[in-house]
């Protein structure tokens, strides 16, 4: 399977070959229309959309690139279920990026000085109460001021004027730490925003690796080939050479501007909050560059498809710190792929599930609810999970509630910023002899009499529903 996509364009043509990209040549409005179409395609597991003519911009816009788990799978060369279970191992492959000296496509056009206007790019207006048009698919690249190690992550940005944008990098995010470290040394933090990188680099940016691990190396490992980098034209930051558009700039010292509201990943709005401000020093791009937008909002969207594998890998790592007997971890869609984690495990001590839930509550994942089930329950089957909760759990005995933990969250019910109460549900059955009464009733020898043999001998097939009702119930 291919993973070393040279650039976004090569991936788009692979999607086109598979019928998973639809191009729209009629003019599309950046105000709601492009997002409206993206939302609808996302909801039917439809194609990625390429808007060739955007109102008020000479740039085309691709939107909903990862609006289906199918396309995350294609980018990384593994089916999505495999990614959910093995993303953490892919994160370990690590191939360091390589600096190129040849002319980089992303610098074919260089815009500086008075010519800079961030709204020359077709930033989209997403939702009714949003604070404005938002840049949503930018990979922010910055370096720790002491070690020089790069960090790559995605943060929404709101334009303030032609050359300034907010950067929604709240406390706890690596980018925020980097910005603060530069500022503590009295220097503006240098930052590049990469739009339209190759698809694997985009997804690798979501790895929840420790501070000091360069996500470009994670991308290289997942691609099976180093990401080719070029130095920016006005700052000392390296960016992927084949990206579509780069916004170069610095984070101003001591300046915070209101960012938000914005319709966010919990499927609710995040309120306006002060955010760091980026001053743009240059915009460079390919000829005929494609702008990219990502949808977020009510799960599932591409925001969630892009984050679920890495969130699952993080939750799995944290749970494994308590016991090696973790069978599977599900960071659920209904839980916004962040707020609810279901863990199936084989407990070796009656209280072990409580340790696992506390480990996950304390982690940087942002889990609000942790449900622990036994190894005979598939955490990806929410009916089985609900069954376990309703047959193995007594609320007064098995629920743990902790108030006011620090937690990265945009949950509107949060009592304070970056704070949440947490709930753990131990839905595991007792250990030992007592356990038998909790297991699914078993028909002894059932496997000796396969129904399929009986059905095929009688030529049975599923009755078609229309004929079934015509002949009977009516």
Ligand X SMILES: Cc1cc2nc3c(=O)[nH]c(=O)nc-3n(C[C@H](O)[C@H](O)[C@H](O)COP(=O)(O)O)c2cc1C
Binding to ligand X by CB under 6 A, coded x per residue (else -) over 186-205, reads --------------------
Yes or no: say if 116 and 163 are a contact pair by the CB < 8 Å rule: yes
For residue 218, state whether it binds ligand X (rule: CB under 6 A): no
Closer of 229 and 295 to Mn ion (Cβ): 229
**The CA-based dihedral angle spanning residues 262, 20, 16, 221, taken in that order and rounded to the nearest 10 degrees:** 70
Residues 280-299 that bind ligand X (CB under 6 A): 294, 296
> DSSP secondary structure string, 101-159?
-SPPGGGSEEEEGGG--GGGS-PEE--TT-SSEEB-S-EEEEE-TTT--EEEEE--B-E
Number of residues that bind ligand X (CB under 6 A): 19
For residue 39, state whether it binds ligand X (rule: CB under 6 A): no
Yes or no: say if 318 and 359 are a contact pair by the CB < 8 Å rule: yes
Using the rule CB under 6 A, give the single segment among 48-56, 168-176, 188-196, 439-447 that binds ligand X: 168-176
Among 208, 285, 340, 354, binds ligand X (CB under 6 A): 208
**The CA-based dihedral angle spanning residues 380, 386, 392, 398, taken in that order and rounded to the nearest 10 degrees:** 90
Q: How far, in Å, CA of 352 to CA of 348, rounded?
A: 7
Among 126, 155, 347, 392, binds ligand X (CB under 6 A): 155
Work out how close the CB of 45 gets to ligand X at its nearest, in angstroms, rounded to a whole number.
18
Instruction: Answer with the entry of Mn ion, ligand X, none that 306 interacts with (C-beta below 5 to 8 A by kind).
Output: ligand X
For residue 143, state whether it binds ligand X (rule: CB under 6 A): no
Helix axis angle, 69-76 relative to 80-91, nearest 10°? 50
Residue numbers at the binding site for Mn ion (CB under 5 A): 151, 174
291 burial class (0-12, 13-18, 19+ CB within 10 angstroms)?
A: buried
Among 39, 126, 133, 156, binds ligand X (CB under 6 A): 156
CA 24, 19, 287, 150 dihedral sign is: positive
For residue 407, state whether it binds ligand X (rule: CB under 6 A): no
Work out how close the CB of 209 gets to Mn ion at its nearest, in angstroms, rounded to a whole number.
5
Q: How many helices (H) and strands (E) does the chain have?
A: 13, 24
Among 122, 159, 170, 221, binds ligand X (CB under 6 A): 170
For residue 9, state whether it binds ligand X (rule: CB under 6 A): no
Q: Which positions touch ligand X (CB under 6 A)?
A: 136, 151, 153-156, 168-170, 173-175, 206, 208, 294, 296, 303, 306-307
């Amino acid at each position: 399977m291919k993973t070393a996509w040279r650039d976004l364009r090569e991936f788009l043509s692979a999607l086109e070959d598979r019928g998973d990209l639809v191009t729209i040549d009629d003019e599309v409005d950046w105000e709601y229309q492009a997002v409206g179409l993206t939302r609808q395609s996302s909801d039917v597991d439809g194609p990625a959309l390429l808007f060739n003519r955007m109102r008020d911009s000479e740039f085309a816009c691709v939107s909903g690139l990862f609006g289906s788990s199918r396309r995350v799978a294609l980018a990384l060369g593994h089916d999505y279920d495999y990614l959910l279970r093995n993303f953490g191992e892919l994160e370990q492959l690590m191939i360091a990026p390589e600096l190129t000296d040849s002319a980089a496509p992303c610098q074919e056009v260089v815009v500086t000085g008075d010519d800079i206007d961030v709204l020359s790019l077709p930033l989209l207006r997403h939702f009714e109460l949003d604070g404005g048009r938002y840049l949503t698919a930018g990979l922010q690249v910055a370096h720790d001021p002491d070690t020089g190690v790069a960090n790559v992550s995605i943060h929404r940005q709101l334009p303030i004027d032609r050359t300034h944008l907010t950067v929604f990098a709240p406390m706890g995010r690596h980018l925020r730490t980097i910005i603060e470290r530069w500022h503590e040394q009295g220097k503006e933090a240098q930052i590049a925003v990469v739009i339209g990188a190759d698809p694997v680099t985009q997804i690798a940016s979501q790895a929840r690796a420790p501070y000091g691990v360069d996500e470009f190396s994670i991308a290289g490992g997942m691609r099976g080939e180093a990401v080719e980098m070029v130095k920016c034209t006005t700052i000392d930051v390296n960016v992927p050479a084949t990206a579509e558009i780069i916004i170069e700039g610095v984070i101003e010292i001591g300046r915070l501007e209101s960012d938000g509201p914005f319709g966010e990943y919990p499927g609710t709005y995040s309120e306006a909050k002060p955010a760091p401000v980026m001053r743009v020093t240059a915009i460079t791009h390919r000829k005929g560059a494609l702008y990219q937008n990502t949808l977020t909002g009510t799960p599932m969207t591409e925001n969630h498809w892009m984050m679920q594998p890495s969130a699952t890998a993080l939750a799995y790592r944290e749970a494994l710190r308590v016991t090696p007997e973790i069978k599977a971890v599900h960071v659920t869609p209904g839980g916004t792929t962040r707020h609810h984690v279901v863990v199936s495990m084989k407990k070796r001590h009656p209280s072990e599930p409580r340790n696992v839930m506390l480990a996950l509550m304390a982690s940087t994942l942002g889990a609000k609810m942790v449900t622990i089930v036994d190894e005979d329950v598939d955490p990806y089957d929410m009916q089985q999970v609900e069954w376990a909760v309703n047959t193995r759990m007594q609320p007064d005995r098995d629920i743990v509630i902790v108030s006011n933990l620090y937690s990265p969250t945009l949950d509107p019910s949060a009592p304070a910023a970056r704070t949440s109460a947490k709930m753990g549900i131990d839905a595991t059955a007792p250990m030992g002899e007592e356990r038998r009464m909790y297991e699914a009733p078993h028909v002894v020898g059932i496997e000796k009499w396969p129904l399929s043999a009986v059905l095929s001998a009688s030529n049975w097939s599923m009755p078609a529903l229309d004929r079934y009702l015509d002949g009977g119930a009516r």
